[in-house]
Amino acid sequence: MDKLINQENNIDKEIMELRRGPWTVEEDLVLMNYISHHGEGRWNSLSRCAGLKRTGKSCRLRWLNYLRPDVRHGNITLEEQLLILQLHSRWGNRWSKIAQHLPGRTDNEIKNYWRTRVQKHAKQLKCDVNSKQFQDTLQIMELRRGPWTVEEDFILMNYISHHGEGRWNSLSRCAGLKRTGKSCRLRWLNYLRPNIRHGNITLEEQLLILQLHFRWGNRWSKIAEHLPGRTDNEIKNYWRTRVQKHAKQLKCDVNSKQFKDTLRYLWIPRLVERIEASKISNNNCINEAQRSVTSTSVTLENSSVATSSENSNQDYNQVNQSDENNNNLDLKRGSWTVEEDFTLMNHIALHGEGRWNSLARSAGLKRTGKSCRLRWLNYLRPDVRRGNITLEEQLLILQLHSRWGNRWSKIAQYLPGRTDNEIKNYWRTRVQKQAKQLKCDVNSKEFKDTLHYLWIPRLVERIQASSNSNSNNQG
């Protein structure tokens, strides 16, 4: 009897010694380090073997919901919200089954999202979550708003290149886009069409817009017919931001006789002067270039006549070298255009990645193979995640770097949608910069202690504060 009492007392003491409340960074590192060496196993014995003053259940939930390498942190994205709504209409409250289709999300996280967001919205509408009224509301909620992503642009361009434009409402459904027909039409006509002319409106185009507006007024689509590659929306924006703004500065109406006279006798003549001055300067540059080419060719001709027999092999090599230089000069550098992005994405969608040098030639792109590879991997791939690195991602990078060092590609495997180049840039611009400010080496024990006991705990605090504010806003 006394033994039983002693055993119960010992169990009570062990329970009293177990920690509760938020996990510390040190406990997280201990748990991750233990599981990386020994695996998961039984959670009650695992907590004791790892030397953690936590219950087995607490260790299991901490690992599954926060520390697992494949757990996706941060708010549920719009794409994930749409997928949850679709899957819930099929399977109901089977959260674990729904979670299988959202990599990195836990069943508990999806259940919390449903209860705090969807059911709350149903209460506000005063209708049942399974009613037809609410289902219709969800279908409207499924339509995306805001800026278009590169993936959506690619889907729209790829669909139209195969099937043509057609009716926009049915086109958006057939292409699998969660956008209105109007949104698809405007995106295509104003941004994605291959014959769209990008860049600032030129002086000649400004002059033509002013002249045509005198004749047709605000009939932007009719004016756009006379400016190849420009959209009616672009011309309208130019008129409102430049011409109407000038009228406001003069404190007169844009349709008044006073302002029209200003356009006719002041603005248009100045535009004509600037256009003529630009043409003269261009002609002077061309004439100078032609003179230099002519003088150079005469000099080369005289020298080649004098030394033709001696330097025939050198001339042959120079010709080959000049051909290579000409090929290199043909290659484009600088920012990629929308047309080049579309060409590259369309080619890879049809033929796959392959060898990048031959891919660039096959796709008809005046770019190096390396440029095509970097553009695809870092910007155009459908699964690339854009935007600033989140607090959760920063925390994960620091934790994984302490384990694997500068193995960026291995770290990137645990941050879905992030590239190794992006993670490396974050490390160099943020972490190494911090080390320089502290005047210590990034690999020194002093700086590693700073990361473990100062930087990481602060990140955890900011993450918890952010999650608390989000939950308060949702509540």
Specify the amino acid at residue 63.
W
Assess whether pLDDT exceeds 70 at residue 431: yes
Predicted pLDDT at 456? 83
> Of 47-56, 294-303, 456-465, which range is least confident?
294-303
Nearby residues of 147 by Cβ (< 8 Å), 6 or more positions away = none
Pairwise pLDDT comparison (295 vs 121), residue with the higher score: 121
Predicted pLDDT at 329? 52
Residue % of the chain over a pLDDT of 70: 82
Q: Which CATH architecture has domain 203-275?
A: Orthogonal Bundle (1.10)
Q: The domain 78-140 belongs to what CATH superfamily?
A: Homeodomain-like (1.10.10.60)
458 — pLDDT class (breaks 50, 70, 90): confident
Give residue 247's region: left, alpha or beta (phi > 0; psi -120 to 50). alpha
Residue 142 in contact with residue 85, Cβ under 8 Å? yes
Assess whether pLDDT exceeds 50 at residue 315: no
Q: Torsion angle of alpha carbons 250, 255, 260, 263, nearest 10°?
A: 60
Predicted pLDDT at 323? 45
Assess whether pLDDT exceeds 70 at residue 13: no
Mean pLDDT of 109-134: 80
Mean pLDDT of 205-230: 88
Q: How far is it, in rounded angstroms, from Cα 62 to Cα 58?
A: 6
Assess whether pLDDT exceeds 80 at residue 48: yes
Q: How far is it, in rounded angstroms, from Cα 254 to Cα 245?
A: 9
Residue 342 in contact with residue 194, Cβ under 8 Å? yes
CATH of the domain spanning 338-380: 1.10.10
> Of 107-111, 177-181, 381-385, which range is least confident?
381-385
136 — pLDDT class (breaks 50, 70, 90): low
Residue % of the chain over a pLDDT of 90: 1
| Domain layout of the chain by residue ranges | 25-67, 78-140, 150-192, 203-275, 338-380, 391-471
Q: Which CATH architecture has domain 25-67?
A: Orthogonal Bundle (1.10)
Predicted pLDDT at 473? 57
Assess whether pLDDT exceeds 60 at residue 61: yes
* 176 closest CA partner among 83, 50, 283: 83
> Of 269-273, 316-320, 330-334, which range is least confident?
316-320
Predicted pLDDT at 309? 45
Q: Does the pTM of the predicted model rise above 0.95?
A: no
Pairwise pLDDT comparison (17 vs 147), residue with the higher score: 147
Highest mean predicted confidence (pLDDT) among 122-136, 137-151, 293-307, 367-381? 367-381
Predicted pLDDT at 290? 60
> For residue 167, with 0-12 CB atoms within 10 Å meaning exposed, 13-18 middle and 19 or more buried, which class applies?
exposed
Predicted pLDDT at 305? 44
150-192 and 338-380 have identical folds: yes
Give residue 253's region: left, alpha or beta (phi > 0; psi -120 to 50). beta
Assess whether pLDDT exceeds 50 at residue 342: yes
Class of domain 391-471: mainly alpha
Assess whether pLDDT exceeds 50 at residue 326: no
> Of 320-334, 348-362, 391-405, which range is least confident?
320-334
Predicted pLDDT at 42? 86
Highest mean predicted confidence (pLDDT) among 47-56, 63-72, 128-137? 47-56
Q: What is the mean pLDDT of the chain?
A: 78
Mean pLDDT of 361-384: 84
Predicted pLDDT at 289? 52
Tokens of 295: 């003088």
Assess whether pLDDT exceeds 60 at residue 183: yes
Predicted pLDDT at 11? 47
CATH of the domain spanning 150-192: 1.10.10
Predicted pLDDT at 322? 44
Nearby residues of 85 by Cβ (< 8 Å), 6 or more positions away = 118, 138, 141, 142
Nearby residues of 216 by Cβ (< 8 Å), 6 or more positions away = 222, 223
Assess whether pLDDT exceeds 80 at residue 109: yes
Tokens of 435: 């080390």
> Of 51-65, 317-331, 351-365, which range is least confident?
317-331
Q: How far is it, in rounded angstroms, from Cα 91 to Cα 231?
A: 46
